[in-house]
A and B are shown apart, each in its own frame.
Chain A
Amino acid sequence: DVVMTQTPVSLPVSLGGQASISCRSSQSLVHSNGNTYLHWYLQKPGQSPQLLIYRVSNRFSGVPDRFSGSGSGTDFTLKISRVEPEDLGDYYCLQSTHFPWTFGGGTKLELK
Chain B
Amino acid sequence: QVTLKESGPGILQPSQTLSLTCTFSGFSLSTYGMGVGWIRQPSGKGLEWLANIWWDDDKYYNPSLKNRLTISKDTSNNQAFLKITNVDTADTATYYCARDLGDWGQGVMVTVSS
Contact = CB atoms under 8 A, between A and B. Distances in A.
Interface of A: 1, 39, 41, 48-51, 54, 60, 92, 94, 96, 99-106
Interface of B: 39, 46-49, 52, 60-64, 96, 101-107
Contact of A101 (B46, B49, B105): B49
A39 B63 contact: no
B67 to A, nearest CB: 13
Contacts of A41: 47
A48 B102 contact: no
A51 B46 CA distance: 15
A94 to B, nearest CB: 7
B48 A96 contact: no
Contacts of A99: 60
Contacts of A92: 46-47
A32 to B, nearest CB: 16
